[in-house]
């Protein structure tokens, strides 16, 4: 990877000898839907990686394969050839993965009917992971010719695999009874509820990282009482809003990321996700990668099969940002209320009666702020 980068091929990554993960694939997909995998001439190694490539296809990406000549690998080849020759080789040798996989398995099966049947099922299972129906149909048509198999036979097998996957994904298992329910009224539980804003902090920073450069619109009345729409960058809105209320984050990594945004905004810039992913401080980079990727993805079954249209977060971004900030502030106010209540108890215990009226007034003001925020969130607070 370093050799390729030094030769001018900067859009290159390596898995560092670890298993490819869905999170890594989705991170790549944020930059491009196209991926070309470079291999040396070891066919056994390539076959061992087929499952990982299926995971890439499952994310709707276009996968091509380049095999280097026997005895060569990307490092040795780029060292012994000029950059233009390497580029021409990669462009000329890149082959579609499914056609490539079909060729390899056909050579292995040869005239063995049992092996050929297993090979056909293997190829169809790979096609089945592709989310786009049209793309699946194109591959079925091409593979039927390559494998000398009726297109309808392949399509029937494909539909059977997809139906099986669908039934498996929608199956609901009975919950096992080996869990423990903690008493919600215990002192420990109450303390966690009141003093832990980890979820709200995480959500605010996640929105900053994912949508910082996106614009959200707000309606405003001008001097002539005419409604106008003002676009505001998400990062500008979040940073200015929290700084105005002097709200900080309890988790150090979140505060550092927030401070980075704040410092850049003062200079008229908004850092993008690449800045944080490649940050010199490993803890910040790891936190950014964690918040920029998600193990969850909306199933196509909701819209295609169940006919349910789901509004995604980026389609209602202004509401998501607004509610996230309000939820964060609501939790912070709850913390202040709990802390102030403890101060009242301490003042009573120590007989500092002159401090109590001011503390009671502060408690009343905090509760009023809490009610106001929660009303905006559509919540009812009972105390």
How do residues 150-179 score in pLDDT, each as one tens digit?
Answer: 888 888 888 888 777 766 654 544 443 333
* Distance separating alpha carbons of residues 100 and 142, to the nearest angstrom: 12
* Distance separating alpha carbons of residues 122 and 173, to the nearest angstrom: 28
* Distance separating alpha carbons of residues 62 and 97, to the nearest angstrom: 9
Long-range CB pairs of 209-212, under 8 A, 24+ apart, other chains included: 209/257, 209/273, 209/276, 209/288, 209/291, 209/292, 210/273, 210/291, 210/292, 211/314, 211/317, 211/321, 212/261, 212/270, 212/271, 212/272
- Residue 98, pLDDT > 90, answer no
> Do the Cβ atoms of 366 and 336 come closer than 8 Å?
yes
Q: What is the pLDDT at residue 142?
A: 87
Q: Grade residue 22 by pLDDT with cuts at 50, 70 and 90.
A: confident
Q: What is the pLDDT at residue 79?
A: 92
Q: 96 has which bridge partners? A: 64
Residues 345-371 pLDDT 10s:
888 888 787 788 888 888 888 888 888
Q: Grade residue 30 by pLDDT with cuts at 50, 70 and 90.
A: confident
> Do the Cβ atoms of 301 and 166 come closer than 8 Å?
yes
Q: What is the pLDDT at residue 257?
A: 93
**Strand 215-221 relative to strand 227-233, pairing:** antiparallel
Structural domains in the chain, CATH included, are: 2-169 (3.40.1360.10), 187-376 (no CATH)
Assign 3-class secondary structure to the chain.
CHHHHHCCCCCCCCCCCCCCCHHHHHHHHCCCCEEEEEECCCHHHHHHCHHHHHHHHHCCCEEEEEECCCCCCHHHHHHHCCHHHHHHHHHHHCEEHHHHHHHHHHHHHCCCHHHHHHHHHHHHHHHHCCCCHHHHHHHHHHHHHHCCCCHHHHHHHHHHHHHHHHHHHHCCCCCCCCCCCCCCCCHHHHHHHHHCCHHHHHHHHHHHHHHCCCEEEEEEECCCCCEEEEEEEHHHHHHHHHHHCCCCCCCHHHHHHHHHHHHHHHCCCCCCHHHHHCCCCHHHHHHHHHHHCCCCCCCCHHHHCCCCCCCCHHHHHHHHHHHHHHHHHHHHHHHHHHHHHHHHHHHHHCCCCCCHHHHHHHHHHHHHHHHHHHHHCCCCCCC
Q: What is the pLDDT at residue 305?
A: 55
Q: What is the pLDDT at residue 80?
A: 92
Residues 254-296 pLDDT 10s:
999 999 999 999 888 899 888 998 888 888 888 888 888 755 5
* Distance separating alpha carbons of residues 236 and 214, to the nearest angstrom: 10
Residues 301-317 pLDDT 10s:
555 555 555 455 556 88
Q: What is the pLDDT at residue 17?
A: 66
Q: What is the pLDDT at residue 120?
A: 87
- Residue 379, pLDDT > 70, answer no
Select, from the ranges 39-48, 79-88, 342-351, the one with the highest average predicted confidence (pLDDT): 79-88
Please classify residue 151 by burial: count the beta carbons closer than 10 Å to its beta carbon, then call 0-12 exposed, 13-18 middle and 19+ buried.
Answer: middle
* Distance separating alpha carbons of residues 25 and 141, to the nearest angstrom: 27
* φ, ψ (nearest 5 deg) of residue 182: -85, 145
| Per-residue tokens: 204 | 């605010």
For residue 95, CA distances in Å to 66, 99, 101, 197 come to 7, 7, 10, 50
Average pLDDT, the chain: 80
Q: Grade residue 299 by pLDDT with cuts at 50, 70 and 90.
A: low
| Per-residue tokens: 104 | 């390899």
Q: What is the pLDDT at residue 181?
A: 34
**Strand 95-96 relative to strand 227-233, pairing:** unpaired
Q: What is the pLDDT at residue 174?
A: 40
Query: Out of 110-124, 218-232, 276-290, which region has the weakest mean confidence (pLDDT)?
Result: 218-232
Q: Grade residue 196 by pLDDT with cuts at 50, 70 and 90.
A: low
Query: Out of 37-41, 134-138, 173-177, 236-240, which region has the weakest mean confidence (pLDDT)?
Result: 173-177
Q: What is the pLDDT at residue 304?
A: 53
């Amino acid at each position: 990877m370093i050799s390729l980068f030094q030769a001018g091929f900067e859009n290159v990554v390596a898995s560092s000898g670890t298993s490819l993960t869905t999170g890594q694939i989705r991170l790549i997909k944020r930059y491009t839907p196209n991926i070309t995998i470079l291999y040396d001439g070891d066919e056994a190694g390539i076959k061992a990686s087929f499952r990982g490539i299926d995971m890439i296809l499952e994310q709707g990406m276009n996968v091509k394969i380049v095999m280097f000549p026997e005895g060569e690998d990307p490092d040795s080849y780029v060292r012994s050839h000029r950059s233009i020759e390497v580029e021409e080789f990669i462009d000329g040798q890149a082959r579609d993965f499914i056609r490539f996989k079909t060729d390899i398995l056909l050579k292995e099966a040869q005239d063995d009917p049992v092996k050929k049947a297993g090979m056909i099922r293997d190829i169809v299972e790979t096609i089945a992971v592709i989310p786009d129906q049209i793309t699946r149909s194109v591959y079925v048509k091409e593979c039927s010719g390559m494998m000398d198999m009726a297109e309808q036979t392949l399509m029937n097998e494909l539909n059977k695999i997809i139906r099986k996957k669908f039934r498996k994904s929608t199956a609901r298992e009975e919950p096992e009874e080996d869990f423990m329910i903690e008493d919600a009224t215990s002192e420990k539980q109450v303390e966690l509820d009141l003093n832990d804003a980890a979820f709200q902090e995480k959500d605010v920073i996640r929105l900053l990282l994912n949508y910082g450069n996106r614009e959200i619109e707000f309606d405003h009345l001008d001097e002539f009482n005419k409604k106008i729409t003002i676009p505001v960058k998400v990062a500008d809105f979040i940073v200015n809003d929290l700084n105005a209320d002097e709200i900080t984050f309890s988790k150090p990594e979140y505060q550092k990321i927030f401070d980075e945004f704040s410092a850049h905004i003062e200079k008229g810039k908004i850092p993008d996700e690449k800045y944080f992913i490649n940050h010199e401080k490993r803890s910040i980079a790891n936190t950014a990668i964690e918040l920029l990727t998600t193990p969850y993805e909306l199933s196509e079954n909701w819209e295609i099969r169940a006919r349910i249209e789901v509004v995604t977060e980026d389609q209602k971004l202004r509401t998501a940002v607004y509610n996230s900030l309000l939820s964060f502030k609501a939790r912070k106010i709850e913390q202040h209320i709990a802390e102030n209540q403890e101060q009242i108890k301490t003042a009573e215990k120590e007989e500092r009666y002159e401090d109590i009226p001011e503390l009671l007034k502060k408690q009343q003001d905090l509760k009023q702020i809490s009610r106001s925020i929660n009303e905006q969130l559509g919540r009812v607070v009972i105390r």
